Amino acid sequence: MFSGIITETGTVADVLPNAIRVGAHAAFVRNLVRGTSVSVDGACLTVVSKDISSFTTDIMPETKRRTTLGSLRVGETVNLELPVTASSFLSGHIVQGHVDGIGTLKHVKKDGDSHIFSITVPHTLARYIAPKGSVTVSGVALTVIAVRSSSFSAGIIPHTFRTTTMHRLAVRDSVNIEVDVLAKYVEKFTRKHSQ
């Protein structure tokens, strides 16, 4: 489990048929152990090996299909997060790292020192997104401002904009989307009991 508070960015060092190697600061990599989870652009992956300044994770075909990780190229920057622990300070949202699909950045506008991102998503995901609810965009936990039938907007404060990959995004770029897991369970529960 993750919080969506990005503490590090890394650089894709190698793209293999079913794995990626990501370079990161030694202090971040030191916290990784073979078999532990790590969030890469919002996708929960398992560390299979590491050296002083990089780690390698396997990527299964389903992850490639459902996320942006299948199109990563060497040199790209990615958001990284270590999993939360029982003693972690939970300051973000509940994030599983189970990416639900891909969204597209539609529009960016300044709002004071902050930025408002408008992102299009498949209608099948938009139904789980609610105003003032939570959504995760490429691993970054955000609070939703507004929702339409196939898009939503969310604000990004200056600190998050600078310290994540958000400042590198351009209109029409693809982003990983994880909707609020509670909304999915509520829908499943109510659908099952209304039949």
Is CATH 2.40.30.20 the classification given to domain 8-81? yes
* Token output for 153: 């907007």
Please report, for the chain, how many H helices and E strands are present, in that order.
5, 12
> Letter for the amino acid at 14?
D
Closest CA to 121 of 73, 160, 154: 154
Fold match, 8-81 / 101-182: yes
Which stretches of the chain are DSSP H helices?
26-30, 61-66, 123-126, 158-163, 181-194
**Per-residue pLDDT tens digits for 38-83:** 999 999 999 999 999 999 999 999 999 999 999 999 999 999 999 9
Kindly report, residue by residue over 102-139, the tens digit of the pLDDT: 999 999 999 999 999 999 999 999 999 999 999 999 99
CB 38 within 8 A of CB 21: no
Domain range list for the chain: 8-81, 101-182
Cβ-contact 89, 130 below 8 angstroms: no
What does the pLDDT read at residue 87?
75
Q: Give residue 91's pLDDT.
A: 75
Question: Domain 101-182, CATH 3.40.630.10 — does that match?
Answer: no
Total-model pTM: 0.92
Residue with tokens 């209608």: 123
Average pLDDT over residues 136-150: 96
* Range 8-29 average pLDDT: 97
